[in-house]
Amino acid sequence: MSEIPLPPIARRAAPWWLLRHETMLAAILLVALVVLGSLNDRFLTLDNLLNQGRLTTEVGLIALPMTFIIITGGIDLSVGSIVGLCAILLGYSWKSFGFPLPLAIGFSLLVGAAAGFLNGLVITRVKVPPLIMTIATLALYRGLAEGISQARSVRGYPQWFYVIGQENLFGIPAQLWLLLIAIVIAGIALDRTTFGRTLYAIGNNEIAARFSGLPVDRTKLIIYTLSGLMAGLSAVVLVSRVTTTRSDMGSGYELDVIAAVVLGGTSIFGGVGSIWGTVVGLAMIQLLKDGLALTGVKGDATIVVIGTVLILSTLVASSLQRRRDGV
Partner 1 sequence: MTMTTEMHRDDTRATPLLSVRAIEKSFPGVRALSGVSFDVASGEVHALLGENGAGKSTLIKIVSGVFPPDRGEVMVDGNPVNLARPDDARRAGIATIYQELLLFPELTVAENVFMGHAPRTRFGRVDWRTMREKTNELLASLEIYDLQADQIVGSLSVGNRQRVEILRTLSQDARILIMDEPTAALTEYDVTRLFEIVRKLKARGVAVIYISHKLDEIFAIADRVTVLRDGAHVATKPVAETDSAALVQLMVGRRIESLFPKIAAPIGEPVLEVTDLERRPLTRTVSLNVRSGEIVGLAGLVGSGRSELAQTIFGVTPAEGGEIRIAGRKVDIRSPAQARSLGIAYVPEDRGTQGLVRPMTVRENFSLAALAKVAFAGFIDRTSERRLAADGVARFAVKTHSLEQVAGKLSGGNQQKIVLGKWLANQPKLLILDEPTRGIDVGAKAEIHRLMGELAAQGLAVLMISSELPEVLGMSDRVLVMREGRIVAEFSRAEATQETVGTAMMGSRKSVEQAA
Binding site residues, partner 1, CB under 8 A: 1-2, 4-7, 9-10, 13, 15, 192-195, 197-198, 200-201, 204-205, 207-215, 271-272, 326-327
Q: How far apart are CA 36 and CA 13, in angstroms?
A: 34
Q: For residue 279, give the amino acid letter.
A: V
Length of the chain: 327
Distance CA 283, CA 176 (A): 13
As measured in angstroms, the least distance from the Cβ of 154 to partner 1 is 40
- Rounded alpha-carbon distances, angstroms, from residue 314 to 192, 273, 286: 27, 13, 18
From the CB of 6, what's the least distance to partner 1, in Å? 6
Q: Closest approach of Cβ 10 to partner 1, in Å?
A: 7
Rounded CA-CA distance 34/43 in Å is 10
Nearer to partner 1, 45 or 193 (CB): 193
Tell the smallest beta-carbon distance from residue 203 to partner 1 (Å). 9
Closer CB to partner 1, 53 or 265, in the complex: 265
Ramachandran angles phi, psi of 13, nearest 5°: -80, 40
Measured from the CB atom, the residue of 68 and 200 that comes closer to partner 1 is 200
AA letter at 280: V
Nearer to partner 1, 68 or 253 (CB): 68
**In this structure, what DSSP letter does residue 1 have?**
-
- Shortest Cβ 11–partner 1 spacing (Å): 10
For partner 1, give the closer residue by CB, 204 or 314. 204
